[in-house]
Amino acid sequence: MAQELNNAEGITLIHPEKDASEPRSSMISASFNFINSIIGSGIIGLPYALNQAGLPFGLLLLIVVAFITDYSIILLIKGSNLSGTHSYQSLVQSTFGFPGFLVLSGLQFLYPFIAMISYNITTGDTLTKVFQRIPGVGPDHILAERHFVILLSTLAFTLPLSLYRNIEKLGKVSFLSMVLTFTILIIVIIRAATLGPQILPTENSWAFAKWNAIQAVGIMSFAFICHHNSFLIYGSLEQPTLANWSRVTHVSVASALIISAAFAVGGYTTFTGYTQGDIFENYCKNDNLATFGRFCFGLSIITTFPLECFVTREVVSNVICSRDLSKAEHVAITLLIVAVCTSVSLAFDCLGVVLELNGILCAIPLIFIIPSACFLKLSTGRWFQGENLIPSILILIGLFVMITGLIMSGLYPQDCSHGVEMFYCADANVSGTVPPV
Q: pLDDT per position in the chain (437 positions), as tens? A: 333 333 333 333 333 344 444 556 677 777 777 776 787 667 888 999 999 999 999 999 999 999 999 999 989 888 888 888 887 888 898 999 989 988 988 888 888 888 888 888 888 888 888 998 888 888 888 988 889 999 999 999 889 888 887 655 555 566 677 788 889 999 999 999 999 998 989 988 999 999 889 889 988 998 888 876 677 678 778 887 888 888 989 999 999 999 999 999 999 999 999 998 888 888 988 899 999 999 998 888 887 788 778 878 878 887 777 677 788 888 999 999 999 999 998 887 777 777 788 888 888 999 999 999 999 999 887 888 888 899 999 999 999 999 998 888 877 766 665 557 788 887 645 444 444 44
C-beta neighbour count of 256 within 10 angstroms? 24
Please tell me the predicted confidence (pLDDT) of residue 3: 35
Fold of the domain built from segment(s) 27-425: Amino acid/polyamine transporter I (1.20.1740)
Domain ranges, ordered by start, for the chain: 27-425
Please tell me the predicted confidence (pLDDT) of residue 116: 87
Residue 165's contacts (CB-CB under 8 Å, 6 or more residues apart) are: 330
Residue 297's contacts (CB-CB under 8 Å, 6 or more residues apart) are: 41, 44, 122, 126, 180, 184, 280
Strand segments (E) across 156-305? none
- Single pTM value for the model: 0.81
| Rounded Cα distance, 27 and 8, in Å | 21
Give DSSP secondary structure letters for 280-322.
Answer: GGSS-TT-HHHHHHHHHHHHHHHHHHHHHHHHHHHHHIIIII-
| Rounded Cα distance, 123 and 239, in Å | 41
